[in-house]
Structure 1
């Protein structure tokens, strides 16, 4: 009797264990964190990236190799302490992949924490500061750094147009990227022309800008600011009689810029690694799907968010979430929406650049 009881108990344990494994086993989940500006003036970038990321994972039905993908989006609000809290919360949740940030200044904060964890990986669709280049760490990006490779063609174009006296204007709220952009463009331009910038100024004091530009009489104004601030500066300068040719970083090249600056956007030059008129089949399919879902044309940041997500998806299909850095360095080359994305050993990429000008209220490619 005692033996029978023990046998029955063992059989019941086996039955309930098997039943639990098959019916109540917790589904394996891979959590991916996003930290970036989703509100305020930088949100035009953050929300575009989020839309591209969501579209890419929807196409996989949020499942990779039988594992559920959970995306966690957090707004850093351009607040350093909040950004630190978000990243540390990701760490507490066991998240190994973090997408972020929208600005280089905030990415620098996330990097300072994530680089202390060798099993984590930070990848950005926007942060371009050259300060992050050439470093073996846990940070990669699909956006080209502010280096000579990206500026060479644009500097040649500006020099060939006869512009020598350049006046640089930057957003001080994202100085890790904006002033870095101007300084590295200046280095490349100097090699072409033997000319240095005649002035650096911020977007904060517009009255000073008007008076200083009139006094120094530059050939070209080069602005590095987001689309909202860039449009505000352009509009104010034009209304106050500044007719100097203006060029801008790719950061402002969105429909928001033209909407906010109106007729004053006409003739402004942009240099960007994104072609709104690309005929690449991958890009055209992405545009179709994006417009069907969101009813708007995707900006560069939506496209790069999508590309970044597709790279993560491809890597998760071949390896663990803690192996993204290793597997990127093994593969190195990925197919982007318009051209190939090639990573170097430090997680920086090489991409093709195009020059655009606003003509009749639209971005027109300069051939």
Structure 2
């Protein structure tokens, strides 16, 4: 009889342990982050990690009595590794993913995620227009490279009489870089301006690139590449005596660009939906918190990662992690650090863009 009692008690204990562990699992919400955390693209990835951590830290990694677990993975800008990470997230029952750093890697992730109905991914930087206008599981707080996004930049180019533009793209993130150049070109053509005179890769032989530029004599060189490669190209062009005006995409507009390019960065033009010197209270409060925690000023990508994290937090307070997409679309309008973030039915956003020029080692806003 004692043996039977012992077995009953032992069974009850095991059942309680099992139920307690299951309950603990249900209380935990896992959120995955996938992006470049090493290598030349890590300037974006590490800034985003900082923004994400700050937002969830402000909520003590807990929402509605449930713990938040953040799982950070480095995709190393490698397609196969990226696929492994996404599949591991799926196996670990992670429903919310923040990523990727580049559009090329986001494309890889979405090829898997879109086959899983209850997963949701949101990006702070992937801007390829290839993702726009699609009812899928991918949202972003970064504006797509559509012709409307380039309205202010094309006006600036026309105003400054840059008729012949030479485009340079990053071949390792072609989904974004060529998309950026082609859609700016379309915006200019719609305003009766010229097509670009040539396209080249940022990996092309620099000697031949200089020869081609000297031969074609463009009015403007437009580089769409990461901050490291953009700085390398700008510095090389200036050392070789090229005085042609240079513009770059917002991808390169980080403090590291000025640090790497040095004096050669002077006069480089950027068109961006972010102002590092904005003086509204919400943004200034965020900057202070960021400075106190990390000892550096936030980049656009740190700020946008913070914004999207707060959107996730707000939505999790309203419903389950499998309902993020539906809850965002139900509300659509959110408070950002520098104005409203408004999602359309496909998870794309619109923002106001301004033009900046590097002056005395700083990004200075100019009139369009």
* TM-score interval (norm. to shorter): over 0.9
Give yes or no for the alignment of 1:270 onto 2:270: yes
Give yes or no for the alignment of 1:288 onto 2:288: yes
Q: Name 1:360's counterpart in structure 2.
A: 360
1:281 Cα deviation after fit: 1.0
Q: CA RMSD in A?
A: 2.3
Give SS of 1:70's match: strand
Give 4+ residue runs of structure 1 displaced > 2 Å after superposition. Answer: 9-27
Alpha-carbon displacement from aligned partner over 1:274-309 (angstroms, at most 9, x marks no partner) = 101111111101100000000000000000110010
Query: Which of 23, 26, 36 is equivalent to 2:24?
Result: 26
Between the aligned partners of 1:164 and 1:139, the Cα distance in structure 2 is 36
Give SS of 1:282's match: helix
Q: Name 1:48's counterpart in structure 2.
A: 47
TM-score by length of 2: 0.94
Where does 1:58-207 land on structure 2 (aligned, <5 Å)? 58-204=57-203, 205-207=205-207
Between the aligned partners of 1:359 and 1:18, the Cα distance in structure 2 is 66
**CA, structure 1 residues 18+207, in 2 after alignment: closer, same or farther (shift >3 Å)?**
closer
Between the aligned partners of 1:20 and 1:331, the Cα distance in structure 2 is 38
Unpaired runs of at least 5, structure 1: none
Contact 1:124 1:143 in 2 (8 A): yes
1:192 Cα deviation after fit: 2.1
Task: Using the TM superposition, name which of 131-140 and 11-20 deviates more.
Answer: 11-20
Give SS of 2:242's match: coil
Contact 1:339 1:352 in 2 (8 A): no
Contact 1:159 1:193 in 2 (8 A): no
Between the aligned partners of 1:284 and 1:266, the Cα distance in structure 2 is 26
Instruction: Figure out how many residues of one structure are paired with residues of the other and give that number.
Output: 364
Give SS of 1:296's match: coil
Give SS of 2:101's match: coil
1:17 Cα deviation after fit: 8.0
1:349 Cα deviation after fit: 0.4
Between the aligned partners of 1:221 and 1:23, the Cα distance in structure 2 is 59
**CA, structure 1 residues 92+212, in 2 after alignment: closer, same or farther (shift >3 Å)?**
same
TM-score by length of 1: 0.94
Between the aligned partners of 1:25 and 1:360, the Cα distance in structure 2 is 58
Unpaired runs of at least 5, structure 2: none
